[in-house]
Structure 1
Amino acid sequence: MVTTIQLNENVKSALGKLKSNKETYEQVILSLMKTAEKCRREQEQLLIEGYKEMAEESLRITKEWEATDATLDFECEELIPVKHLKGMK
């Protein structure tokens, strides 16, 4: 089934500039939709890769701090009076 859609003249003109001699407006629109979907997928993939890198960095930092956490507890026990340490662990 073929449907007619209304376009402003400037939109039709812009679509006309995008099409080749024998290409239809429908083919131009489908090509634009395909390009938009490809860009969306690429952006999504870049976001996923970025979040993976951030998660790996966060995990690395957490592991670094885990090693210092044990030494901080030991050092703090010598600096803080025992009465203030009750209930902290």
Structure 2
Amino acid sequence: MSETQQTETPSIRIFGADWCGDCRRAKRVFGEAQVAYEWIDLVETPEAADVAADISGRKNIPVITYPDGTHQVEPSDADMRAKLTELGLV
């Protein structure tokens, strides 16, 4: 494994929309924890809503995917923080 791969930030993706209060809250939690994530705006990229629905089996947002293959749908602040702790990111 190269040095770059070892220090690369794990890929976390948040599927959401800026009009969604829970999505804005998720972005705030990740920002406060200083954990990098990829924001997938479902308004700008509507086809990504199908990807999020395939992951979660639901239409609710946000859908957050983690590098360990798990995901959360509309998680509470405590659930997001617990997952980041479990992954050793905070």
- Which category describes the TM-score, using the shorter chain as reference length? under 0.3
Q: Normalized against structure 1, the TM-score is what?
A: 0.27
Structure possessing the higher radius of gyration over alpha carbons: 1
Structure with the greater relative contact order (CA < 8 A, sep ≥ 6): 1 or 2? 2
Select the structure that is richer in strand. Answer: 2
